[in-house]
Structure 1
Amino acid sequence: MNKKTIAFVTGGYSGEAVISYKSAVTIEKNIDKDKYSVYKIDMHPTGWWYETEEGEEVAVDKNDFSITVEGKKITFDSVLIGIHGTPGEDGKLQGYFDMLKIPYTSCNAATSALTFNKRYTVAVAAFGGISVAKSLLIFKHSPVAASVILEQLQLPVFVKPNNGGSSIGMSKVTKPEELEGALQKAFNEDDQVLVEEFIKGREFTIGVFKNNGNIITLPITEVISKKDFFDYEAKYVAGMSEEITPAAVDEAIAEKIRNKAKLAYQLLNCRGVVRIDFIFNEVEQQPYMLEINTVPGQSEASIVPKQVLAMGWTLKEFYSALIEESFKY
């Protein structure tokens, strides 16, 4: 059997590149090398490079996304996308691979671009019957006074960059005088900022992927932050949050979350694995969708790998399933 040749892309152009490199360690360790010939491509602002075993850097030919190693030109059957942030999570790479007719493991260009924009994501979700928090989208070129925002939204609110992930630039605001500083912090990361009303409840997150045409939900994780909310530190610093997988939750609540997660996956035409964050409001007995991560973290500390293991799969089986599914599009 001829091995498929896979490009595994990591790095990226944003502050999230550091998370991409952490994910890369887990992914590299668990791609089935008996099934696939794997070439890791590091994409960063100085260029796209493959490093040989001897440590030589080989530039990627961007005309056809190929590399030439020891005089042999190598092209790829599929691309496993492991880049968090731009250009791997916002549709830019997906559009490039679409033009070259190379399959890849993530959502398509349109879905990636849409879900990278938190406001547009929740707008589409709400249109499809999924509960979301009340929010405002603020643009840097059209500033809105804090007082005007507070006329439309009730405190507490979350202020976060509208594009991007890993909770970089995010703040929880409980007093009116804190809002201006929180806006500035978020604008340092993005020229669009989302201000969103706080939903009281338990925080859950769930991985969803497609296998053999079926939408599969991974075991749910409950996130209990030791800080006031699940920010960058709570996500990536050991001991700052407790993640319980599978979540200790009534089956009726779990079923509501699973159903809404599947609905969101369908509604937004997702592919590959995504992770969807919810707050379950216990008064309304309703899950509120917060956001969709189309390239969820795969590091040792990340949630999706833990959910995969809790389901009884190995990561090797999981990454193989993602790669095989990519050939069906």
Structure 2
Amino acid sequence: MTMQQPDLQLGKVAVLMGGRSAEREISLMSGRGVLTALRARGVDAHAFDPAEQPLDELKRQGFARCFIALHGRYGEDGTVQGALELLGIPYTGAGVLASSLAIDKIMTKRAWLAEGLPTPRHVLLHRGPHDAARLQAVVAELGLPLIVKPSREGSSIGLTKVTRAEQMDAAVATAARLDADILCEQFIAGDEVTCSILGTGEGARALPVIHIVAPEGNYDYQNKYFTDVTEYRVPCDLPPGEEAAIQALVLKAYRLLGCRGWGRLDVMIDAATRRPWLLELNTSPGMTGHSLVPMAAKAAGISYEDLCLQVLADAGLDYATGGDQ
């Protein structure tokens, strides 16, 4: 993949990192990497933590655009995007509506299902007491094993793989500590892959697919960010034609939600049927040393620094007027 070199007249840039979500630690790691890369390419970039400064300081301090390296709530869910729209400061990644939809796994599924895109079967539970009969009904509907997770968290935070019916109560309680909406999802046994997207609309392009091989299939928070035991196969080792089919599918899913700039979609491939199933879409992907978008970009011949520069150059506004990009 070739990349057009962006115009370096980007002005004063804020790298938004940290924030107030459960993914604060990862966001700080992402933000520091982005900040270092942008400065290495001559960008006037500065760290900005919304948990420590009010967002209107961005305007007062003269920032021309923002690179959003926030993850999870208050950063990837449309809230910061809406504030930046009001401030008139272009920002990276999906806009208000697409961010709000994508952070909510239930709403994302509803949108994909409405257009016939494949995603695992699910049941929505709400925070509160659930009697044994209700939880047993979920098990009966989805089968075992199944996945229980908060609807609006990332990085596998609050996720439980339920292998026995008696685990349901604890799994739901774990998810409920993080979100009032709890997603119970059919477990797809097979290959776990991820595919990153760069660009907007018809100009969006898929990067190489990464096949994730985690110890005992456990690609959890610890194995995502803090160990080196997970294997990332890129170029991937999928059968002929499967990679292209997955890239085409994730592009449809990305465009359907109205995403722009960049994103990453997680997919499971059923071992028996080889059918791909969409899990979720990340609109502010990680940029740490273990992160998957820079890994895929490298496989496509794009350096970490060039990736950061391209994402920043694509910053925009949903409600651009006049000279706004």
Query: TM-score normalised to the size of structure 2?
Result: 0.89
| Correspondence for 1:38 | 45
Question: How much does 1:229 deviate?
Answer: 2.7
Pairwise CA RMSD of aligned residues?
2.0
User: After alignment, is 212-221 or 119-128 more displaced?
Assistant: 212-221
Shift of 1:121: 0.8
Q: What's the counterpart of residue 174 of structure 1?
A: 163
In the alignment, structure 1 segments of 5+ residues that lack a partner are 49-59, 68-73
Residue aligned with 2:272, SS: coil
Q: Is the 8 A contact 1:212 1:325 kept in 2?
A: no
The whole-number CA distance in structure 1 between the counterparts of 2:104 and 2:117 is: 17
Q: Which amino acid aligns with 1:226?
A: P
Structure 1 residues 142 and 111: CA distance shift in structure 2, 3 A: farther
Structure-2 separation of matches of 1:89 and 1:225: 26
Query: TM-score, length-normalised on structure 1?
Result: 0.88
Q: What amino acid is aligned across from residue 49 of structure 2 in structure 1?
A: D
User: Are residues 1:164 and 2:153 paired?
Assistant: yes
- 1:1-329 matches, within 5 Å, as 4-32=11-39, 34-44=41-51, 47-48=52-53, 60=54, 62-63=55-56, 65-67=58-60, 74-141=61-128, 143=130, 145-210=134-199, 214-327=203-316, 329=325
- SS of match in other structure, 1:233: helix
Which structure has more strand as a fraction of its residues?
Answer: 1
> Hey, what's the Cα distance between the residues in 1 that align with 2:100 and 2:212?
26
Q: Residue 65 of structure 1: SS of its match in structure 2?
A: helix
CA distance in 2: counterparts of 1:224 and 1:11, whole angstroms: 29
**146-155 or 96-105, which moves further after superposition?**
146-155
| Cα gap change, 1:177 to 1:142, in 2 (>3 Å) | closer
Q: How much has 1:33 moved relative to structure 2? A: 5.1
Distance 1:302 1:255, change over 3 A: same
Task: Work out which structure has the larger RCO, using CA pairs closer than 8 Å and 6 or more positions apart in sequence.
Answer: 2
User: What SS does structure 1 have at the residue aligned with 2:63?
Assistant: coil
CA pair 263-211 structure 1, distance change in 2 beyond 3 A: closer
**Which has more helix, going by share of residues?**
2
Is the alpha carbon distance of 1:240 and 1:34 closer, same or farther for their aligned partners in structure 2, counting shifts above 3 Å? closer
Percent identical:
28
Instruction: Choose 232-241 or 158-167, whichever is displaced more.
Output: 232-241
SS state at 1:227 partner: helix
Which residue identity does 2:254 align to in structure 1? Y
Q: Specify every segment of 5 or more residues in structure 2 that has no aligned partner in the other structure, as ranges.
A: 1-7, 317-323
